[in-house]
Amino acid sequence: MEATPVPPEPAIARETRGVLRETGEYWWVWLLAGISWTLIALVILQFDQASITTVGVIVGIMFFAVAAQNFFIFSITEGGWRWVVLIFGILMVASGVVSLISPENTFAALADILGFIFFIIGTFWILQAFVEREVSDLWWLTLISGILLVILGFWTAGQFFIEKAYVLLVFAGIWALTQGITDIVRAFQIRRLKDV
Protein backbone atom coordinates (compact mmCIF):
# COMPACT_ATOMS: atom_id res chain seq x y z
CA MET A 1 0.00 0.00 0.00
CA GLU A 2 1.43 3.36 -1.02
CA ALA A 3 1.38 6.30 1.34
CA THR A 4 -0.49 9.37 0.22
CA PRO A 5 2.00 12.12 -0.57
CA VAL A 6 1.90 15.04 1.83
CA PRO A 7 1.67 18.40 0.07
CA PRO A 8 4.62 20.70 0.77
CA GLU A 9 4.16 23.22 3.55
CA PRO A 10 3.68 26.80 2.32
CA ALA A 11 6.72 29.05 2.75
CA ILE A 12 4.86 31.43 5.05
CA ALA A 13 3.96 28.54 7.39
CA ARG A 14 7.62 27.40 7.46
CA GLU A 15 8.75 30.94 8.30
CA THR A 16 6.08 31.27 10.99
CA ARG A 17 7.11 27.95 12.55
CA GLY A 18 10.72 29.17 12.48
CA VAL A 19 9.77 32.35 14.31
CA LEU A 20 7.82 30.31 16.88
CA ARG A 21 10.85 28.07 17.48
CA GLU A 22 13.08 31.13 17.93
CA THR A 23 10.68 32.88 20.31
CA GLY A 24 9.29 29.76 21.98
CA GLU A 25 11.48 29.95 25.03
CA TYR A 26 10.15 33.45 25.68
CA TRP A 27 6.45 32.42 25.73
CA TRP A 28 6.21 33.65 29.31
CA VAL A 29 6.95 37.23 28.14
CA TRP A 30 3.69 37.20 26.17
CA LEU A 31 1.89 35.77 29.18
CA LEU A 32 3.23 38.53 31.48
CA ALA A 33 2.46 41.18 28.84
CA GLY A 34 -1.08 39.84 28.45
CA ILE A 35 -1.68 39.85 32.20
CA SER A 36 -0.25 43.38 32.42
CA TRP A 37 -2.46 44.63 29.57
CA THR A 38 -5.52 43.07 31.18
CA LEU A 39 -4.73 44.73 34.51
CA ILE A 40 -4.17 48.06 32.74
CA ALA A 41 -7.55 47.66 31.03
CA LEU A 42 -9.24 46.99 34.35
CA VAL A 43 -7.65 50.08 35.89
CA ILE A 44 -8.52 52.27 32.90
CA LEU A 45 -12.11 51.06 32.80
CA GLN A 46 -12.53 51.90 36.51
CA PHE A 47 -12.27 55.65 35.83
CA ASP A 48 -15.65 57.31 36.05
CA GLN A 49 -14.45 60.82 35.18
CA ALA A 50 -11.30 61.53 33.24
CA SER A 51 -9.56 64.72 32.25
CA ILE A 52 -8.14 65.41 28.83
CA THR A 53 -4.62 65.29 30.28
CA THR A 54 -5.25 61.89 31.88
CA VAL A 55 -6.41 60.43 28.58
CA GLY A 56 -3.38 61.78 26.71
CA VAL A 57 -0.91 60.49 29.28
CA ILE A 58 -2.49 57.02 29.60
CA VAL A 59 -2.76 56.51 25.84
CA GLY A 60 0.82 57.77 25.38
CA ILE A 61 2.08 55.27 27.94
CA MET A 62 0.14 52.51 26.18
CA PHE A 63 1.81 53.43 22.89
CA PHE A 64 5.22 53.15 24.54
CA ALA A 65 4.30 49.76 26.04
CA VAL A 66 3.30 48.40 22.63
CA ALA A 67 6.54 49.79 21.17
CA ALA A 68 8.56 48.02 23.88
CA GLN A 69 6.82 44.73 23.07
CA ASN A 70 7.58 45.16 19.38
CA PHE A 71 11.23 46.06 19.98
CA PHE A 72 11.55 42.92 22.13
CA ILE A 73 10.05 40.79 19.33
CA PHE A 74 12.41 42.48 16.85
CA SER A 75 15.41 41.65 19.04
CA ILE A 76 14.68 37.90 19.25
CA THR A 77 13.47 37.11 15.72
CA GLU A 78 14.85 36.92 12.20
CA GLY A 79 13.26 37.14 8.77
CA GLY A 80 10.78 39.37 6.97
CA TRP A 81 8.35 39.88 9.86
CA ARG A 82 11.19 41.30 11.92
CA TRP A 83 11.22 44.55 9.91
CA VAL A 84 7.45 44.93 9.96
CA VAL A 85 7.56 44.66 13.75
CA LEU A 86 10.35 47.28 13.92
CA ILE A 87 8.41 49.76 11.76
CA PHE A 88 5.30 49.17 13.86
CA GLY A 89 7.34 49.81 17.04
CA ILE A 90 8.69 53.06 15.62
CA LEU A 91 5.14 54.17 14.75
CA MET A 92 4.08 53.45 18.33
CA VAL A 93 6.96 55.52 19.75
CA ALA A 94 6.06 58.44 17.47
CA SER A 95 2.42 58.19 18.54
CA GLY A 96 3.42 58.07 22.21
CA VAL A 97 5.61 61.16 21.88
CA VAL A 98 2.85 63.09 20.12
CA SER A 99 0.36 62.03 22.81
CA LEU A 100 2.59 63.17 25.68
CA ILE A 101 3.91 66.46 24.26
CA SER A 102 0.82 68.48 25.05
CA PRO A 103 -2.28 66.39 25.69
CA GLU A 104 -4.39 69.38 26.75
CA ASN A 105 -3.87 71.25 23.46
CA THR A 106 -4.08 68.25 21.17
CA PHE A 107 -7.17 66.43 22.39
CA ALA A 108 -8.95 66.50 19.01
CA ALA A 109 -5.74 65.37 17.33
CA LEU A 110 -5.46 62.59 19.90
CA ALA A 111 -8.87 61.32 18.82
CA ASP A 112 -7.63 61.25 15.21
CA ILE A 113 -4.36 59.59 16.23
CA LEU A 114 -6.20 57.00 18.28
CA GLY A 115 -8.45 56.16 15.35
CA PHE A 116 -5.45 55.83 13.04
CA ILE A 117 -3.54 53.72 15.54
CA PHE A 118 -6.55 51.46 16.11
CA PHE A 119 -6.72 51.04 12.33
CA ILE A 120 -2.99 50.25 12.06
CA ILE A 121 -3.04 47.81 15.01
CA GLY A 122 -6.20 46.13 13.69
CA THR A 123 -4.70 45.76 10.21
CA PHE A 124 -1.50 44.33 11.70
CA TRP A 125 -3.51 41.80 13.75
CA ILE A 126 -5.58 40.79 10.70
CA LEU A 127 -2.40 40.15 8.68
CA GLN A 128 -0.86 38.32 11.64
CA ALA A 129 -3.94 36.10 11.93
CA PHE A 130 -3.65 34.97 8.31
CA VAL A 131 0.08 34.33 8.72
CA GLU A 132 -0.54 32.23 11.86
CA ARG A 133 -3.50 30.37 10.33
CA GLU A 134 -1.34 27.41 9.27
CA VAL A 135 0.21 26.93 12.72
CA SER A 136 -2.38 28.15 15.22
CA ASP A 137 -5.85 26.77 15.90
CA LEU A 138 -6.87 30.07 17.50
CA TRP A 139 -5.82 32.33 14.62
CA TRP A 140 -9.43 33.46 14.35
CA LEU A 141 -9.20 35.16 17.76
CA THR A 142 -6.51 37.48 16.42
CA LEU A 143 -8.59 38.01 13.27
CA ILE A 144 -11.71 38.98 15.23
CA SER A 145 -9.69 41.29 17.50
CA GLY A 146 -8.16 42.95 14.45
CA ILE A 147 -11.52 43.45 12.75
CA LEU A 148 -12.97 44.95 15.94
CA LEU A 149 -10.06 47.38 16.26
CA VAL A 150 -10.36 48.43 12.60
CA ILE A 151 -14.08 49.13 13.11
CA LEU A 152 -13.31 51.02 16.32
CA GLY A 153 -10.61 52.97 14.48
CA PHE A 154 -12.99 54.06 11.73
CA TRP A 155 -15.62 55.04 14.26
CA THR A 156 -13.11 57.02 16.35
CA ALA A 157 -11.59 58.77 13.31
CA GLY A 158 -15.07 59.62 12.02
CA GLN A 159 -15.87 61.72 15.07
CA PHE A 160 -15.30 65.43 14.45
CA PHE A 161 -14.75 66.05 18.13
CA ILE A 162 -15.37 63.71 20.99
CA GLU A 163 -17.09 65.72 23.69
CA LYS A 164 -15.92 63.72 26.67
CA ALA A 165 -12.49 62.41 27.51
CA TYR A 166 -14.24 59.44 29.06
CA VAL A 167 -15.16 58.01 25.64
CA LEU A 168 -11.49 57.96 24.59
CA LEU A 169 -10.58 56.37 27.91
CA VAL A 170 -13.12 53.59 27.34
CA PHE A 171 -11.63 53.00 23.88
CA ALA A 172 -8.15 52.82 25.41
CA GLY A 173 -9.48 50.28 27.92
CA ILE A 174 -11.00 48.18 25.14
CA TRP A 175 -7.71 48.29 23.25
CA ALA A 176 -5.75 47.23 26.35
CA LEU A 177 -8.20 44.41 27.11
CA THR A 178 -8.08 43.12 23.53
CA GLN A 179 -4.28 43.29 23.55
CA GLY A 180 -4.16 41.43 26.88
CA ILE A 181 -6.44 38.59 25.84
CA THR A 182 -4.63 38.20 22.52
CA ASP A 183 -1.20 38.14 24.22
CA ILE A 184 -2.32 35.54 26.79
CA VAL A 185 -3.72 33.25 24.10
CA ARG A 186 -0.63 33.80 21.94
CA ALA A 187 1.64 32.88 24.90
CA PHE A 188 0.06 29.47 25.22
CA GLN A 189 0.03 28.97 21.45
CA ILE A 190 3.74 29.79 21.27
CA ARG A 191 4.44 27.46 24.18
CA ARG A 192 2.51 24.64 22.50
CA LEU A 193 4.00 25.18 19.05
CA LYS A 194 7.62 25.90 19.98
CA ASP A 195 8.64 22.25 19.56
CA VAL A 196 6.59 21.61 16.40
* pLDDT digit string, tens, across residues 123-135: 988 988 888 888 7
Residue 27 domain flag: no
> Is the model's pLDDT at 1 over the cut of 60?
no
Residue 158 domain flag: yes
Residue 132 domain flag: yes
Residue-range definition of the domain harbouring residue 184: 50-193
Residue 39 domain flag: no
Residue 1 domain flag: no
Residue 11 domain flag: no
Residue 42 domain flag: no
What does the mean pLDDT of the chain come to? Answer: 77
Number of domains present in the structure of the chain? 1
Pick from 44-48, 80-84, 107-111, 178-182 the range whose average pLDDT is largest. 178-182
> Is the model's pLDDT at 117 over the cut of 70?
yes
- CA–CA dist 131, 125 (Å, integer): 10
- CA–CA dist 81, 15 (Å, integer): 9
Is the torsion defined by CA of 61, 65, 67, 68 positive or negative? positive
Residue 137 domain flag: yes
Cα–Cα distance list, 73 to 13, 62, 141, 178, 193 (Å): 18, 17, 20, 19, 17
What is the number of other CB atoms lying within 10 angstroms of the CB of residue 69?
21
pLDDT for the residue numbered 166 = 66
pLDDT for the residue numbered 21 = 66
Q: How confident is the model at residue 174 (pLDDT cuts 50, 70, 90)?
A: confident
